[in-house]
């Protein structure tokens, strides 16, 4: 891959160090503070607290002292949950007569609560509208039960890739994601075009109107005044950014962009980084997309994390950075995401030097569609089918395995030896070690294991003579791989489904 065509988000952030915080800064412990545990020591669990939701899609928390959660349902209703009284049976809002919910991905998709909600009683909704599925941003005035359409993007060719996330940024503006218009392989070439809102994240000021518009375009939006470009565009080159969020500590933006079929990706951008091209459809993840729309002279901002559907995933569900109090000592500043199919809980944490720690730290309920927070920053999730609300908790559990790595690289080759130690109290009888290798590495031989590779996902299973690992004992295995420039060893390991601590 021609890496010179990429500009990583932290390279951009480095240039702004004197003007703004780096995205990693808020994730580092303050001087004298206790260090947080390694990510593989974390364990996410969920407790179901409400049943009977109809394909819930999003969660929002009004900062009005009520401790309520607002939950959107795909057919067009907004429900209210309170931890003391449960899920209210009567919807707060019913827009079913205005919502096009045809197909699997259309419907009421997103909700945002403005900072002045306690006085304004306004909510902002993203949905696909009747009669033709246009992707729509609207304001709903609760005190008047009135819906006011603010902005609409035609979306008639396909019924998928509607995006739908709404969130107020640290600047007070409203951000809205829209997918590339659907179909396979970006047939509308929308991702790289600036004359359409498809395949974008938008930024608008909904606190006032300008001219004939019921909203204003911030003057510092990156494409204001660019001939042929839509002024509302903040970021482009996205496929289906179903969920994004802002870190309340540093204002940085995390985006989960659903992939075509080879890579799911997560992007992390410093506060205020508008105008970036996130690559689609020239790139899917870090890989050049066959038949994609690549334009001369473009610079692309690469994702900070990718994973292959060979992990069992199918659609990344972008999440949130934990800034609550209950688990602050464990994962304050850790970004949590999941996947609609695999239900894997991904934990990412900037390492302070431009990279990221990463781990799989448990399972969500099946088919999670949104990770939301309370006003105080505690986590809840909703899942699509059978339609429930779940509270998320975190705990520290010491890993029952450790992997030490020995690496020898040369030219276009690398040799990696792995020592897997059973640090638990129970023997391991038969083992499977799963780990990713960097893009461009192809394993050509292995020893002391039966190893298979699908995309970048490697599965190593025990041989007959080393299948048992007693507590405190270890086995050694290894492989030789060819690479196209990245000779790095694996950065995370799962032994029989449990995350392993990283040794040397």
For domain 401-502, say whether CATH 3.40.50.720 is its number.
no
Query: Same CATH topology for 50-156 and 157-307?
Result: yes
Instruction: Identify the three-state secondary structure at position 174.
Output: strand
Omega of the bond leading into 281 within 30 degrees of 0 (cis): yes
What integer pLDDT is reported at residue 8 of this predicted model? 47
Could you tell me the pLDDT band of residue 84, with boundaries at 50, 70 and 90? very high
Neighbours of 464 (CB within 10 A): 7
Q: From the CA atom positions of the chain, what is the Rg in Å?
A: 23
Overall average pLDDT of the 280-290 stretch = 97
Q: Is pLDDT of 17 > 50?
A: no
Alpha-carbon torsion, ordered 370, 286, 298, 243, to 10 deg: 0
pLDDT the model gives residue 14? 39
Percentage of the chain modeled with pLDDT above 90: 93
- Distance of alpha carbon 107 from alpha carbon 89, whole angstroms: 20
- Work out the average pLDDT over 125-142: 98
The stretch 488-497 carries a mean pLDDT of 96
| Residue 215 contacts residue 221 (beta carbons within 8 Å) | no
**CA angle (370, 374, 377) in 5-degree steps:** 100
Residue 143 has pLDDT above 70, yes or no: yes
> 334-357, pLDDT tens digit by residue?
999 999 999 999 999 999 999 999
Residues 6+ apart with CB under 8 A from 18: none
260-273 tens-digit pLDDT: 999 999 999 999 99
Residue 504 pLDDT greater than 80, yes or no = yes
Residues 35-68: tens digit of each pLDDT: 899 999 999 999 999 999 999 999 999 999 999 9
Q: Residue 225, class by beta-carbon neighbours within 10 Å (0-12 exposed, 13-18 middle, 19+ buried)?
A: exposed
The per-residue pLDDT for range 447-459, each reduced to its tens digit, is: 999 999 999 999 9
pLDDT of residue 35: 85
Instruction: Please state the rounded mean pLDDT for residues 303-313.
Output: 96
| CA–CA dist 237, 269 (Å, integer) | 14
- Residue 126 reports pLDDT greater than 90: yes
Q: Looking at the predicted structure, is the pLDDT value of residue 22 above 80?
A: no
Give the Cα-Cα-Cα angle 129, 135, 141 (nearest 5 degrees): 65
Residue ranges of the domains in the chain?
Answer: 50-156, 157-307, 315-396, 401-502
Mean pLDDT of 455-475: 97
**What b/e sequence results for 397-436 when a residue is b if at least 16 CB atoms lie within 10 Å of its CB, and e otherwise?**
eebbbbbebeeeeeeeebbbbbbbbbebeeebeebebbbb
The average confidence (pLDDT) of the chain is 94
CATH class for the domain made up of 50-156: mainly beta
Looking at domain 157-307, which CATH architecture does it have? 6 Propeller (2.120)
Give the pLDDT confidence score for residue 281 in this predicted structure: 98
| 407 Cβ contact list (under 8 Å, min separation 6) | 414, 415, 416, 417, 487, 489
Is it the case that residue 23 has pLDDT exceeding 90? no
Residue-wise pLDDT tens digits, 217-271? 999 999 999 999 999 999 999 999 999 999 999 999 999 999 999 999 999 999 9
Alpha carbons within 13 A on the beta-carbon side of 479? 23
Confidence of residue 34 (pLDDT cuts 50, 70, 90): low
Q: Which neighbouring-strand residues pair with 409?
A: 414
Between the two ends of the chain, the Cα-to-Cα distance in Å is: 29
Average the pLDDT over 364-374 and give the result: 98
């Amino acid at each position: 891959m021609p890496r010179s065509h990429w500009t990583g988000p932290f390279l951009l952030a480095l240039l702004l160090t004197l003007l703004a915080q780096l995205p990693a800064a808020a994730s580092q412990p303050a001087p004298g503070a206790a260090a947080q545990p390694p990510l593989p020591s974390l364990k996410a669990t969920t407790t179901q607290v409400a049943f009977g939701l109809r394909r819930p899609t999003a969660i929002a928390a009004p900062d009005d002292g009520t401790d309520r959660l607002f939950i959107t349902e795909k057919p067009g209703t907004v429900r209210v949950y309170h931890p003391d009284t449960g899920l209210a049976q009567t919807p707060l809002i019913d827009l079913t007569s205005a919502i096009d919910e045809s197909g699997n991905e259309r419907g009421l998709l997103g909700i945002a609560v403005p900072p002045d909600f306690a006085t304004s009683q306004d909510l902002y909704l993203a949905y696909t509208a009747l009669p033709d599925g246009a992707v729509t941003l609207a304001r709903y005035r609760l005190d008047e039960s009135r819906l006011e359409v603010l902005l609409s993007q035609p979306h008639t060719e396909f019924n998928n890739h509607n995006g739908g996330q709404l969130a107020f940024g640290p600047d007070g503006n409203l951000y809205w994601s829209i997918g590339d218009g659907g179909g396979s392989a970006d047939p509308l070439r929308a991702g790289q075009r600036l004359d359409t809102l498809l395949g974008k994240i938008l930024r608008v000021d909904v606190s006032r109107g300008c001219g004939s518009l019921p909203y204003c375009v911030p003057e510092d939006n990156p494409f204001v005044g660019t001939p042929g470009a839509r002024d509302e565009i903040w970021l482009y080159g996205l496929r289906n950014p179903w969920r994004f969020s802002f870190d309340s500590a540093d204002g940085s933006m995390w985006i989960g962009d659903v992939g075509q079929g080879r890579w799911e990706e997560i992007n992390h951008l410093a506060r205020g980084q508008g105008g970036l091209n996130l690559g689609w459809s020239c790139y899917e993840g870090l890989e050049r997309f066959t038949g994609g729309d690549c334009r001369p002279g473009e610079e692309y901002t690469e994702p900070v994390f990718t994973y292959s559907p060979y992990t069992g995933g199918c659609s990344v569900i972008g999440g949130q950075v934990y800034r609550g109090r209950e688990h602050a000592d464990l994962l304050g500043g850790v970004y949590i995401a999941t996947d609609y199919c695999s239900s894997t809980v991904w934990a990412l944490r900037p390492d302070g030097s431009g990279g990221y720690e990463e781990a799989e730290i448990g399972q969500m309920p099946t088919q999670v569609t949104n990770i939301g927070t309370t006003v105080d920053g505690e986590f809840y999730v909703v899942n699509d089918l059978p339609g429930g609300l779940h509270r998320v908790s975190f705990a520290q559990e010491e890993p029952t395995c450790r992997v030490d790595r020995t690496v020898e690289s040369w030219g276009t080759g690398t040799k990696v030896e792995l020592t897997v130690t059973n640090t638990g109290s129970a023997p391991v009888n038969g083992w499977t070690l799963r780990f990713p290798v960097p893009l461009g590495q192809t394993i050509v031989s292995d020893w002391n294991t039966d190893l298979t590779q699908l995309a970048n996902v490697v599965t190593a299973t025990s041989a007959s003579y080393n299948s048992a690992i007693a507590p405190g004992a270890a086995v050694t295995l290894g492989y030789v791989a060819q690479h196209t420039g990245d000779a790095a060893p694996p950065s995370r390991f799962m032994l029989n489904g449990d995350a392993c601590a990283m040794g040397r």
